[in-house]
Structure 1
């Protein structure tokens, strides 16, 4: 698989003019890959939309797959800046064996970061379609590999660890994984079914006010479920203690 060429920078440092050109090509490519898919978007069209000549794409990216990979890597880097603080906080809570209240707050913090990121990009059709095509399995597998290793796996792993600790189950227990994906799926539906969401609510866009309503409502539902699973865990612990107590026999004095 070809990888994107590294940008040639001027020896005197500073903001390279090539950075701006490279960024412009990536932005144009994201839109066209979203609109037409990997097969339908041509390097000629990408160059035209970016306002550069076709050889510029070869200079920076070598070929179309290199352009596509650069798009995914740029979006992954951008997204991780939003998620990294919440993920680091969650790992710290897990390491410190924090109580369920802290763990629930940590999960909500991750979900809020996901919501902010999702709804920030919801009104950008090119990016939304780009990810929708990738999720559907229509695009180069390299995209899925990059997003999985740099975004999805870290988010899913720490989220399932939190849910598992809160509910008293293993992080890789199928029930834990189903619960984790379902909780985060509450947000994704509004992103994937963007047009249906706007139609159902009579909205013209998911603006800041509407995004906050979605985020707070989903957050309340998430907290309710996590607290319920935590109480179930506590109840199982009490029952186990009672069962063990009944099983003991008094020794003669």
Structure 2
């Protein structure tokens, strides 16, 4: 059950209509919170963009903060749905590695599988509103903490935990070693720049947008670079074992 207030449904016939109204409000709010920030986006403007009257926001979300929390929950749920299969596979690989059955290649593929799932979420435009600006403002620390807490608990911490464990097994460093954390950030930073600093990236590459073909090119490049770095760190690990 989500933390945010669920819509009231007085009758069975109102179920689908209530969900659709709630979805429209959230989609409008994600866009406007991203453009103007929590303080700058008015509930009246959000209601107008969603095509509902202003009291509907209070009916479904109680207040503006409740709506912001619902936006973060919606983004977290959509994001995790994309990434969960790769995470579940990685957990199986780690379980096999603990029993001495998983190869380095299996660990590498599990790590890259998660990385590419995150990349797909970054580059591929689904039906939902573009959440890049919402993310960028949330990351700046200027928006309500509730949004960061939702995204951290539901997406970032589970992803970090599994990635750090995979990377630790491959490099021979503890998962909680600062070196492992820096390495993880460097590997993901290869494509997160295209998400957070999209305008600068497009300007440097002289692209007008990142279409599916260009997204594929970026992912292929990042995948190759990740393999090279992981192979180098595994060689370092093996050299220490034989030293």
TM-score range, shorter chain: over 0.9
State the alpha-carbon separation in 2 of the partners of residues 69 and 195 from structure 1: 27
How far does the alpha carbon of each residue in 1:198-218 deviate from its partner, in whole angstroms, 9 at most, with x for none?
A: 111121111000000000000
- Is 1:161 the counterpart of 2:176? The answer is no
- 1:28 is aligned to 28
- 2:71 is aligned to 71
- Is 1:43 the counterpart of 2:43? The answer is yes
Q: For 1:170, what is the secondary structure of its paired residue?
A: coil
Answer yes or no: is the 8 Å Cα contact 1:32–1:126 preserved in 2: no
- 2:113 is aligned to 109
Q: CA offset at residue 14 of structure 1?
A: 8.6
Between 178-187 and 10-19, the greater mean CA deviation after superposition: 10-19
Answer yes or no: is the 8 Å Cα contact 1:107–1:159 preserved in 2: yes
Aligned residues: CA RMSD: 1.7
Q: CA offset at residue 4 of structure 1?
A: 2.8
- Equivalent residue in structure 2 for 1:149, among 141, 144, 153: 153
- 2:214 is aligned to 210
> Is there any run of 5+ residues in structure 1 with no aligned partner, and where?
240-253
State the alpha-carbon separation in 2 of the partners of residues 213 and 151 from structure 1: 26
TM-score computed with the length of structure 2 as normaliser: 0.93
Answer yes or no: is the 8 Å Cα contact 1:35–1:126 preserved in 2: no
Answer yes or no: is the 8 Å Cα contact 2:93–2:110 preserved in 1: yes
- Is 1:238 the counterpart of 2:239? The answer is no
- Is 1:190 the counterpart of 2:194? The answer is yes
Structure number with greater Rg is 1
How far does the alpha carbon of each residue in 1:71-97 deviate from its partner, in whole angstroms, 9 at most, with x for none?
A: 000010000011101111111111111
- Equivalent residue in structure 2 for 1:130, among 128, 134, 151: 134
Q: CA offset at residue 8 of structure 1?
A: 2.4
TM-score computed with the length of structure 1 as normaliser: 0.89
> Is there any run of 5+ residues in structure 2 with no aligned partner, and where?
none
Q: CA offset at residue 13 of structure 1?
A: 7.2
Q: CA offset at residue 161 of structure 1?
A: 0.6
State the alpha-carbon separation in 2 of the partners of residues 12 and 52 from structure 1: 21
